[in-house]
Amino acid sequence: MPPLPDSMHTTARKIYEWYESKKEDHREHLGASLIGHHCDRYLWLTFRWAASPQFGGRVLRLFNTGKREEQRVYEELRAIGVELHTEEDGKQIDCRDDSGHFGGSLDGIGRGFAEGPKTWAVLEIKTANDKAFTSLKAKGVQAEKPQHYAQMQTYMGMMKLDRAMYICVNKNTDDLHTEWVHFNKETYRDLLARAERTIKRTTPADRISNDPAHWLCKMCDMYKLCHQQEPAEFNCRTCCHSTPVAGGKWTCHEFAKELSADDQRKGCDSHIFIPALVHGTPIDGERNFVEYFVEGTGETFKNGPAHVTSKEVAKRGRKKTPAVDLGPKISLDDLNDDIPF
């Protein structure tokens, strides 16, 4: 007779596994929800699909809870007389910059808020744990959640609106924080410029710190790529032949063709990694390969279709760095309200 399942936690584990099985594709654009991030390198690596965030089922379920909270807030706002638009033609309200590569999807646009009854405003809904919520109420969104503030400034600028309603729900107590946010033209201009720099860069910015124990790096989605020599993912955006062009499109210079989103995700056999994404020092190269020297092992290898293919580079993982003391553990519960849905 096979052993009986554990009477505790087995069903919970199955639910978490279900969330983990629903792998989401990389976002095609540079998201407004990210543009206020503290690290230029992170923005570029995200835009270039260099690595995917790895979240456990519990955290993914937490994200889903935050997403579901939006529907409740919509209902509450309409109940108090707010005229609310949350979709256009059955889809979220999208906005993009002139390049087509930077933008996002609004939670909504509303009019009839008590702070400005006649003013149309961007609606942004977030959730936070009690500790983050208390700090938010004391300091305000600009000081406490600059990434959320940047997201709203981007939306206001792109939608040509000068106000935003920020609503944050305390996940522990159900308390609400609402804040009437004014458009800042200079901030918006700076955010557009930052996005443009990110999109046009051919190599990543420097790390915030070369210390793997730095507090801003420890919980970053790109930590293993930046500090533990984990290889970048294999796709067209990590290939030196691809370039973002106008209209939110990408082109391949090797085959002189436009790349669909599916093309980009699949990559091809002619893929050659952008050298900055390979953990080695470039020492030679031609059109169809780049040669690297690997410090520590002394080996050399060529990345190219007729040599060590990019798929092999992505699998081999390079040399692992020794384990380091990362200091006190940071709880995801302290960070989850900053992760965009």
Same domain, 136 and 240: no
Token pair in block for residue 220 = 């970053």
Same domain, 198 and 246: no
Token pair in block for residue 269 = 């056999």
Query: Does residue 332 sit within a domain?
Result: no
Same domain, 181 and 56: yes
Q: For position 104, which CATH number holds?
A: 3.90.320.10
Mean pLDDT along residues 192-215: 95
- Report helix, strand or coil for 227: helix
Confidence of residue 322 (pLDDT cuts 50, 70, 90): very low
Residue 220's nearest CA partner among 42, 13, 34, 32 is 42
Query: Does residue 111 sit within a domain?
Result: yes
pLDDT higher than threshold 90 for residue 205: yes
Q: How far apart are CA 311 and CA 268, in angstroms?
A: 9
pLDDT confidence of residue 2: 66
pLDDT higher for 112 or 317? 112
Query: Does residue 212 sit within a domain?
Result: no
- List pLDDT tens digits, range 215-236: 999 989 999 999 998 999 999 9
Same domain, 61 and 169: yes
Query: Does residue 156 sit within a domain?
Result: yes
Residue 142's nearest CA partner among 183, 189, 195, 194 is 183
Query: Does residue 173 sit within a domain?
Result: yes
Same domain, 157 and 232: no
What is the residue whose two structure tokens read 């124990």?
213
- List pLDDT tens digits, range 12-45: 999 999 999 987 889 999 999 999 999 999 999 9
Q: Are 134 and 78 in contact (CB under 8 A)?
A: no
Same domain, 85 and 198: yes
Confidence of residue 249 (pLDDT cuts 50, 70, 90): very high
Q: How far apart are CA 219 and CA 339, in angstroms?
A: 12
- Report helix, strand or coil for 31: strand
Q: Are 278 and 302 in contact (CB under 8 A)?
A: no
Confidence of residue 336 (pLDDT cuts 50, 70, 90): very low
Residue 224's nearest CA partner among 279, 291, 294, 293 is 279
Question: What total number of domains does the chain contain?
Answer: 2
pLDDT confidence of residue 139: 97
Same domain, 72 and 156: yes
Q: What proportion of the chain, given as a percentage, has pLDDT over 90?
A: 81
pLDDT confidence of residue 28: 96
Confidence of residue 271 (pLDDT cuts 50, 70, 90): very high
Most confident stretch, 114-123, 288-297, 315-324:
114-123
Same domain, 173 and 281: no
- H runs (alpha helix) in 163-298: 185-200, 223-227, 261-266
pLDDT confidence of residue 54: 82
What angle do the packed helices 185-200 and 146-159 form, to 10 degrees?
A: 100
Query: Does residue 112 sit within a domain?
Result: yes
What is the residue whose two structure tokens read 């999208």?
94
Instruction: Enumerate residues 6+ apart whose C-beta is below 8 A from 32.
Output: 95, 102, 103, 104, 150, 151, 154, 155, 158
Query: Does residue 5 sit within a domain?
Result: no
Same domain, 139 and 257: no
Same domain, 178 and 236: no
Same domain, 161 and 286: no
Phi, psi of 294 (to 5 degrees): -105, 115
What is the residue whose two structure tokens read 């720099």?
197
Query: Does residue 191 sit within a domain?
Result: yes
Domain that holds residue 41: 24-203
Beta partners for residue 123, in sequence order = 108, 165
Q: Are 230 and 317 in contact (CB under 8 A)?
A: yes
Residue 30's nearest CA partner among 313, 250, 256 is 250
pLDDT higher than threshold 80 for residue 339: no
83 to 59, 108, 118, 171, 244: CA distances (angstroms): 33, 10, 10, 26, 38
Which of 170, 203, 236 terminates a domain? The answer is: 203
Same domain, 198 and 232: no
